[in-house]
Structure formats: C-alpha cells, structure tokens
Amino acid sequence: MSETLPDQGQVADAVKGNWVDTLAPAVTRPYLRLSRADRPIGTWLLLLPCWWGLVLAVAATGFRVEALWIALGCALGAFLMRGAGCTWNDVTDREIDAGVARTRSRPIPSGQVTPLQALGWMGVQAALAFGILLTFHPTAIALGVLALLPVAIYPFAKRFTWWPQVFLGLAFNWGALLAWAAYTGSLSLAPVMLYLGGIAWTLFYDTIYAYQDVEDDALIGVKSTARRFGDRPGPWMNGFLMATVALLSMGVLAALPVGPALVAMLGVWAMGWHLVWQLSRLDIADPARCLALFRANSTTGLIPLPFFAVAALL
C-alpha cells in the first residue's frame, strides 16, 4: 500500500468511486468519511443482527405491522450509530491512526477536520439516532442507552487487551437484543443466543480485518487477536466459526417450534458454509484479500434472513 495520502481526501481503504467521493458536496465529505459512509460494510455488520432479532421475533410471536417501522428504524439507527461510533473511534485513535499506513488518510490525522469538529458531528448523529430509539418500546430504549457503554469502551480496548474484537462484538451485535425487545417488549433466551452467536461471528470477521495491520500494530504497540494468533489463526478461526453456528442454532431452537426451527437453521448452516468458504480463501499475508473477505461478511449475515422469514410464514 502506498505511504502517501490519496488525492482529494479519499480514505485509503474506502470503496473506489464511492458516492461520498464522487457525489456528496465537498463540504460534507470529511464528515461522511468520519461516519464511514464511504465504507458501508460496517453499517451492514451493525444492522444485520438487528434484523436477525426482529425477523426471528416475528417468527416466534406473529407478524404485526410495527415490524416494518422497527426494520426501517434499525436501518436508520445503524447508519447513524455506526457513524457516531466510528467518529468517536477516530477521535480517540487519532494518534494511532497517524502511525498506520492504512488509516493515516482518515479525516482527523489527514487534517480534514479537527477533533472538536468531529465531536460535534458525533453528537449530531447520536441525537438523531436517539430520536429514532424513542419511538421503540421502553425496554428497547433502555437497552439502547445501555449500548453506549461498550461503544464508549471499544476504542480503548486495543490498548489493554489482546481481545479488542470481543468489545467490538459486544457493541456491534447489541441490535439482536434491542430489535427483539422493540418488537416483543421483553428479552428471552433466543435473543441472548443470537447476541452471543453474533459476538463469535464478529471475532471471526474482525480478526480477518485485523490481519491487514499486524505489522503497523506491532510497531506502535496496538493489540489485536490477529497479533495474538500470529501465523496460526486456523484453530481459533474454526472455533469462532463453530461457535457462531452453534449459538445461532440455539437461538433459533429457543424461539421456534421444531418445524419452523429446522427451516431457520438451514439458513444458519448456510451462513456457516459461507464462513468455511472465507476460511478456505484466507491469506493472512495478503491485506487486499483480507479486506475483500471482511467485506464479504455483509453477504454472510444476510444469508439466514430469508430462511427466518420462511419460518415466520410457517
């Protein structure tokens, strides 16, 4: 990867020709880059556990029209809260990002915005997301407020643990609990199992992501599962894969009768095969391959949803 910054402020690992760099007004681009709007994979990874929880809740309790608003509200909220969380991450990591080739082109270390401006933008996004949250059931509102804790801690985790991906998983899969509660008004074993399965999935895909930066991370002392596993990630990755499938399957079985549960579990198992395919393609010495496989997880997380929907029809 080039050591120089991309032209015109583009971020080095953004999707080439994305709408932020080509269509957005110039004055908005640094802020949209802070929100990772030019890198939509993170929004998908935050949103998909929400939709797992919602669709499985519909399958378990029956369809009501409010499910449509919850689905849309989760999508809008995922975009906004992913943006707010990434902005917070960039504020806290600005010195670290300046020392890593892949991240030094981000808006703060490259000088496109100041940390104070970034904090203001974070507040705008969080306020809009909170407005959406207030339309949900009170239990979901309480869970949404509680979710701020792992979001706030995550950027610091790489400084004190080899397992910062656990903290990312705690934050990114909270929507499985929140969306279930938004629809049913309570929690049960099923969304908890979905949540735990999502955390295992996050450990899988974010370890792949972390292998892009192992050399720079070692130089500046940043910890990650990729550095912890070194050149032998296979046993760990297989464990995360099996835990993902097992925990999501338990969530399905806890939510549904046997017949619909078998249909829904077909989706979970298909998701597992997609993870197997990723593992077969993984080359930890190839950052471009790692990034491509990481991005493929938007497809991975979508796979169970049509099966959950068919289970709801049954």
Mean per-residue pLDDT, 168-179: 97
b/e string for 68-80 if b means 16 or more Cβ within 10 A? eebbebbbebbbb
Average pLDDT over the chain reads 92
Q: How confident is the model at residue 2 (pLDDT cuts 50, 70, 90)?
A: very low
Structure tokens at 181: 């509660």
Which residue ranges make up each domain of the chain? 15-313
| % of the chain residues with pLDDT over 70 | 97
Using alpha carbons, select from 284, 245, 282, 294 the residue that is nearest to residue 267: 245
Quote the pLDDT of residue 8: 64
Six token digits for residue 152: 């706030």
Each residue's pLDDT tens digit, 222-246 = 899 999 999 999 999 999 999 999 9
Terminal CA-CA length for the chain: 50
Does residue 5 surpass a pLDDT of 70?
no
CATH code: domain 15-313 is: 1.10.357.140
Mean of the pLDDT values across residues 246-257?
A: 97
Summarised one tens digit per residue, pLDDT across range 56-93 is 999 999 999 999 999 999 999 999 999 999 999 889 88
Long-range contacts of 260-267 (CB under 8 A, 24+ apart): 260/59, 260/311, 260/312, 260/314, 261/311, 263/307, 263/310, 263/311, 263/314, 264/56, 264/59, 264/304, 264/307, 264/308, 264/310, 264/311, 265/307, 266/307, 267/303, 267/304, 267/305, 267/306, 267/307, 267/308
Q: Report the C-alpha gap between 105 and 122 in whole angstroms.
A: 19
pTM exceeds 0.85, yes or no: yes
**Residue count (the chain):** 314
